Amino acid sequence: MSTSFRGRLLAATVCAGALAAVPACAETLADAIALAYQNNPTLEAQRATQRALDETYVQARTGWRPTLNANASMTYNELRVPHTAGTAVDINGDGIPDAVKYGVFQNNSARIGLTFTQPLWTGGRVAAAVNAANYDVLAGEENLRRVEAQVLASVIQSYSDVRRDQEALAIQQTNVEVLTRQLQESQARFDVGELTRTDVAQSQARLAQAQALLQSAIAQLAISRASYATLVGQNPGDLAPQPSLAYLLPKDVDEAYKVAEEHNPQLRAQEFAEQASRARVAGAHADRMPNVTGQVTYGFNGPAFPQTGGNFPSSLYDRNVVATLGATLPLFSGGLTSSRIRQAVERNNTDRITIETVRRNTLQGITQFWSQLIAARSNITSSDEQVRAARIASEGTHQEQQVGLRTTIDVLNAEQELRQAELNAVTSRRDEYVAAANVLATMGRLEAKDLIPSVKPYDATKNFRRLRLTWGWVPWEEPISKIDQHLTPYPSRTPEAKPVEAPIGPGLQPAPAVVAAPAAAPTTVKH
């Protein structure tokens, strides 16, 4: 963990309870999403993964491109043979045969050359590999969309969590203040004999409970702030209310199902994965086809160390040029090719069946999050009504206590119910917004182009287009690719990208200003 980021997390913890220290300028959800879209490490890593995946397409196309190799070799040979095989000779001249006399023969040679090899027809092997790699790239782009949606949904959830916890902290602070005044009031009335020790103890117990809940709220806010900093890259400031997502949401669940089946990134990625494995089936069948290759070799042969005073006269060296057109037809592989075909077919069956699994999971996700959305909207209405009624009940209980119709425990219970109703209202609004974001993510509509249209979107296809004509490309590559694609009994389908949903405006707009109604002043007992 970097020192700067560790410092931001520490600041998130230290500042959790210091709400007055946050900047006065409100930070919007669009700001948070824009920062995460540009700097989130998970998203950046997935983009790098996609760029690496693009290279597999280039590597597959090299099967149509020529290769040029330089080769050189040098050989030294020394041969010792008897001058007169098996006959001992007098070497020192004393008339006695001493040893067998040997003859020594030396020679050396060298070769240097270039070999140019050009595949002419691979029987569809390379075409299938290229198509499979292209489908893999398309599937990777959909996985990038999926990760982007997950990151943006996490940012929205974290943003909503921070706002919920900030409001919850304010509610708990108010609760501590109200119960502190209640304890002071109970103590004063006990001192004059109007209340018993039991009333004071009840007020003390509720205040202690409220103080514990306040500390829990501070800790929860610190956790949410740290999560926000992890996703966005900076601590949350004074977060503005979340803008409406209604312009992206479908009118009913049936429309959500339809859009999800067309644009859900995980489903589209699996469909591309199935097409990639289908192309590999064609490649496995193509292993039975012949392979035609042309080759030209140009080189020189001669001595490595000439015996002419160190000179290298051209008369000692031979120049050779060899042109070869060869075809290789596999006849028997011990069952290897057949086994690979069966394996490729079953892998394709797995991918094809998985499409249905992913489709069902996608529709289940739509059902789950749509149900949560409807439930949260109902809870908002109910919790707002609960807050209104609990506030009236709390005020009435305070007034009735003044005339002796209510006890201290009645007042404490009314305050507790009011705070719980306020917390329920805050949680319901958070749940409704997060559920809406999850519906959009499952539909495949939670994208930067729809949320923050002013920010230039990352183009995952830009790098792929650039790699098509990169180093190694040759002009005759395209004709050879057409031949290899069509002159085979096992052609594979040429990949085509799926249609992309047009951007939906206007993007996240600031929430309309709401003039808050003046809060009712807490009722106090007059002595």
pLDDT digits (tens, 9 = 90+) for 272-315: 999 999 999 999 999 999 999 999 999 988 887 765 555 666 66
Closest CA to 262 of 477, 61, 41, 498: 498
DSSP 332: -
Residue 131: the pLDDT is 95
pLDDT digits (tens, 9 = 90+) for 30-55: 999 999 999 999 999 999 999 999 99
Residue 517: the pLDDT is 40
Residue 505: the pLDDT is 85
- pTM, two decimals, is 0.83
List, in order of start, the domains of the chain with CATH numbers.
Answer: 3-69+124-290+346-486 (1.20.1600.10)
* Interval 199-210 mean pLDDT: 92
Could you tell me what percent of the chain has a pLDDT over 70?
85
Could you tell me what percent of the chain has a pLDDT over 90?
66
- Examine the pLDDT at 465 and tell me if it is beyond 90: no
Residue 84: the pLDDT is 53
DSSP E strands in 255-414: the ranges are: 291-302, 318-328
Closest CA to 443 of 357, 506, 365: 365
Q: Distance between CA 165 and CA 220 in Å, rounded?
A: 7
- Examine the pLDDT at 23 and tell me if it is beyond 50: no
> Which range (72-86, 252-266, 278-292) has the least confidence?
72-86
DSSP 403: T
Token pair for 360: 């069902």
Give the Cα-Cα-Cα angle 98, 104, 105 (nearest 5 degrees): 160
> Which range (80-89, 238-247, 425-434) has the least confidence?
80-89
pLDDT higher for 161 or 24?
Answer: 161
pLDDT higher for 407 or 6?
Answer: 407
Residue 324: the pLDDT is 93
Residue 525: the pLDDT is 35
Return the amino acid letter for 175. N
* Interval 331-349 mean pLDDT: 94
- Examine the pLDDT at 487 and tell me if it is beyond 90: no
CA separation (Å) from 392 to 426, 427, 474?
19, 21, 82
The distance in angstroms from the start CA to the end CA of the chain is 59
| Mean pLDDT, the chain, integer | 87
- Examine the pLDDT at 100 and tell me if it is beyond 60: no
Residue 81: the pLDDT is 62
Residue 365: the pLDDT is 96
How many residues belong to the chain? 527
Residue 90: the pLDDT is 56
